[in-house]
A and B are shown apart, each in its own frame.
Chain A
Amino acid sequence: MYRYDSTDQQIIDQRVAQYRDQMARHLAGELSTDELRPLRLQNGLYIQRHGPMLRIAIPYGMLSAAQLRKLAEISRRYDRGVGHFTTRQNMQLNWPQFEETPEILAELASVEMHAVQTSGNCVRNITTDQFAGVAPDELTDPRPYCELLRQWSTFHPEFAFLPRKFKIAVNAAAQDRAVIRAHDIGLDLVSDDRGEIGFRVFAGGGLGRTPILGKQVRDFLPRRHLLSYLDAILRVYNRYGRRDNMYKARIKILVQALGIEEFARQVEEEWSHLRDGPTTVPDEEFARIAQHFAPPPWETLPSPDPAHLTRIEADRAFASWVKRCVHAHRTPGYAAVTLSLKASGTAPGDITDGQMIAVAELAERFSFGELRVTHEQNVVLADVRQRDLYEVWQIARSHRLATANIGLLTDMICCPGGDLCALANARSIPIATAVQDRFDDLDYLYDIGDISLNISGCMNSCGHHHVANIGILGVDKNDEEWYQITIGGQQGKEAAIGKVIGPSFYAQEVPEVIEALIAVYLEQRTPSERFIDTLQRIGIDPFKARAYAGRDRRRPARIDSREKEVVNA
């Protein structure tokens, strides 16, 4: 993974000093609350329902074991011994002390980490495929491009005060695991007919109040032009994105208002002034960064590993785990492993300090000391020998990290919701818990098979409910928590936004409604169909009818969240 040189380290150290000074001036009354807010947000510090929340950057989800150990130590010393992984592959601490945040940032800097631009109206953490570098369906490793973008976006002087937040994701695989079209800019790595690497560029995607999939701005951008082209997009957005209404300030609204052709024309016009300038990236720089992501010293191993096959035969629980949590690797004899953070009874994406240490040890022993955070809020060991899988499973299981539910109904993406977040209209975690309780039988889950269920506590859509097969959105109606359900969303190359099935439900109805939706699928499916396939074939109506059957629906709960869809608290 990328390691800082002295310049990178100096920049991050100076950032800590800057923030320390800002906090000191604030506490001395020289920097008002309003003046501090955007500054602290660009260092990841929110003020939430119960106090501060600190969002720590994990660039494109890559962590070393040493960094995870430091996160464990920080969570124990400065928080309550729990971290929460987010859909931007970051980690949130929910209980830090406001005055201690400069110390936390200094601790992070000691392991080449920070909280730079994890919030605020600026370019946020770049995200990518959790299987980058090992996925068999990958064109090339996307991480060097992500790192290039990290550096470009870090303290970009022109784009620190955009109309609104700005999210970029990069995909290089046949299956888009980074949901790039749900981003302000989505970058799809492709090669042209001469084998030159470049990007298909999408812009104007985003979830939130107005979910829209990104549209293509350019079908092929040679990689050397990446930064100047993004400068052009960002400049058009910075100058012409709306600033009069925060709900209409994302780039998707500008793209929609101009139309993609006119938007692309303006970008190309701007780019005509910038292209081929000093920001053009030379091959040597790509090579320099790529060295940091050179494959680890994989051994030459038999594939499949015979002992591994024997254990699958012998141990049904292990076999189930392998089926759901072990993924193909480009190198014979190796596999990638997802450690599930979706055990029943725990908040999705939460990891305790003890689990962090356990994962760090697993990474050190079995996966070259590195790991990745997934946008689905799990953790991946990317380079495990097949013959070690059984031992990894046993250790992971002893730390409740081996729930065999990856890609199943209980592998939910879920925001912290109203229990913690000041923006939420409703709680999310109790809904997740109720779903876990209702669907705690693994055999039943296996029978249902591949499905995604995501939960957001408000319109900001941090839980990505729009792109789930079943999406749950918390809404507020006269101070009561209601839940609106969408179906038909999906991630991947066929990304789609789900459709609302009708009036909202009470919290206690949600598990029953999900059960009803699942029942329609189980009755109607053909042997090879996933939930989404059946839904696409038979349409939304049978699902809708079953969901509301026998329910005495009061008038529809109107979505009443406008005033609560606040930007950053």
Chain B
Amino acid sequence: MPRIIRNGSIVEDDWQVLTLAEGETPAGVTLPAGRVLLPLSVWLARRDEIIAGNRQIGVWLDSHEGPEALAGDIDRFAVIAVNFPKFTDGRSYSSARLLRERYHFAGEIRAIGDVLQDQLFYMRRCGIDAYALRADKDIDRALAGLSVFSETYQAAVDQPYPLFRRRPAPGSA
């Protein structure tokens, strides 16, 4: 079974990412059995059918797709994945923060796509708590990427107070 990082440790995980193949449409695609991360388009096209299926629901947002489309249903999702088509495409950092801070999504946010060790720290700060590392990378080594810095300046999901509200007084330990 594939392994991902979740909440700081490596776990086996059976969620599959559904992508539409050439010629497949959101309305027509066969929904696989098991736990599936659905493309946003499939969720939007077949929302009622998926809810009626009475199973855990997961969806994935591509980097150009905002979380606004999920706002009204946010509590229905067990997992929302955010895609990094290239690790240099930084839009999904904003998506993750919006999911947590604006839409108060409490389930798992998973990074998928071009997910690499050196971006994990920023992802974690933005509220992503599960990481499907790119398959060719060493997931055990990548764990170190979560804890590069022990202190940070800005407010973010992991630390809602900026350093200037927490900074120790001069002279204190």
Contacts and interface: CB of A to CB of B under 8 A. Distances in A.
Contacts of A279: 154-155, 162
Nearest to B126: A157
Contact of B93 (A11, A18, A238, A285): A238
A100 interface: no
Interface string A2-43: 000111001100110010011000000011000100110000
Given A7-B167, A158-B97, A152 B154 contact: yes
A14 B148 contact: yes
Nearest to A160: B122
Contacts of B148: 14, 18
A281 interface: yes
B-side binding surface: helix, strand, loop or mixed? loop
A482 to B, nearest CB: 33
Interface in B118-136: 118-119, 121-123, 125-126
Nearest to A38: B88
B151 A11 contact: yes
A35 B117 CA distance: 10
A22 B118 CA distance: 8
Contacts of A10: 150-151
Interface in B96-119: 97, 102, 116, 118-119
A350 B54 CA distance: 69
Interface string B136-172: 0010010010001111111110001111110110100
A14 B125 contact: no
B13 interface: no
B152 A155 contact: yes
A277 interface: yes
B150 A158 contact: no
B66 A239 contact: yes
B164 A157 contact: no
B102 A273 contact: yes
A477 to B, nearest CB: 32
B89 interface: yes
A282 B94 CA distance: 25
B151 A160 contact: no
Contacts, number: 103
B153 A154 contact: yes
A301 to B, nearest CB: 32
B61 to A, nearest CB: 12
A237 to B, nearest CB: 10
Nearest to B114: A35
Interface size class of B (residues with CB under 8 A): 35 or more
A157 B127 CA distance: 10
A278 B162 contact: yes
Given A7-B167, A278-B155, A278-B161, A238 B150 contact: no
B90 A160 contact: yes
A160 B148 CA distance: 15
Interface in A474-489: none
A285 B119 CA distance: 30
B153 A152 contact: yes
Contact of A161 (B89, B144, B160): B89
B91 interface: yes
Nearest to B171: A5
Given A7-B167, A18-B148, A285-B164, A155 B88 contact: no
Contact of B149 (A6, A21, A155): A155
B87 interface: yes
A151 interface: yes
Nearest to A148: B164
Contacts of A92: none
Contacts of A158: 90, 93-94, 97, 122, 126, 156
A239 B94 contact: yes
A278 B93 contact: no
Given A155-B152, A158-B126, A39 B118 contact: yes
Chain B CB within 10 Å, residue with most, of A11, A30, A38, A161: A161
B140 to A, nearest CB: 12
A278 B163 CA distance: 10
B28 to A, nearest CB: 29
Interface in B35-70: 66
A224 to B, nearest CB: 12
A37 to B, nearest CB: 9
B165 A278 contact: yes
Interface of A: 5-7, 10-11, 14-15, 18, 21-22, 30-31, 35, 38-39, 121, 151-152, 154-162, 227, 235, 238-239, 243, 273, 277-279, 281-282, 285, 288
Given A160-B119, A281-B164, 19 more contacts: A5-B168, A10-B150, A11-B152, A35-B87, A38-B87, A151-B163, A155-B149, A155-B152, A158-B90, A159-B90, A159-B93, A160-B93, A238-B90, A238-B91, A238-B93, A243-B89, A243-B91, A278-B162, A285-B164
27 contacts: A7-B151, A7-B163, A11-B151, A14-B150, A18-B148, A31-B118, A39-B118, A151-B164, A155-B154, A157-B121, A157-B122, A157-B123, A157-B152, A157-B154, A157-B156, A158-B126, A158-B156, A160-B90, A160-B93, A161-B88, A161-B93, A227-B162, A235-B94, A238-B91, A278-B161, A279-B154, A279-B162
Query: Which A-B residue pairs are the 7 nearest by beta carbons?
Result: A161-B90, A157-B125, A157-B122, A285-B164, A151-B153, A158-B93, A18-B148
